[in-house]
């Protein structure tokens, strides 16, 4: 469904974060609300290999809505 929405303009990967393999490098890896679900050491090692030199990894914390 989400692939249809972006009509080929984005590439999606179905993989556990710590098992992700690619021959490309990326400027940014965004990890949003998922750090508690991965094996940190192999996951960050995989991310380091996929980042270009000087690239960034943005790890977003868990979000919650506070009732007012």
Tell me the pLDDT tens digit for each residue of 8-67.
787 777 788 888 888 999 999 888 777 778 888 888 888 899 999 999 998 887 766 677
Cα 46 to Cα 38, 57, 65: the distances in Å are: 11, 11, 31
> Max CA-CA distance within the chain?
48
pTM of the model: 0.63
CB–CB of 26/52 below 8 Å?
yes
Query: Between the CA of residue 45 and those of 4, 23, 33, what are the distances in Å?
Result: 31, 15, 18
């Amino acid at each position: 469904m989400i692939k249809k929405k972006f009509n080929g303009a984005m590439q999606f990967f179905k993989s556990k974060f710590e098992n992700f393999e690619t021959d490309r490098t990326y400027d940014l890896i965004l990890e949003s609300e998922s750090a508690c679900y991965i094996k940190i050491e192999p996951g960050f090692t995989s991310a380091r290999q996929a980042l270009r030199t000087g690239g960034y990894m943005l790890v977003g914390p868990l979000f919650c809505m506070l009732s007012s």
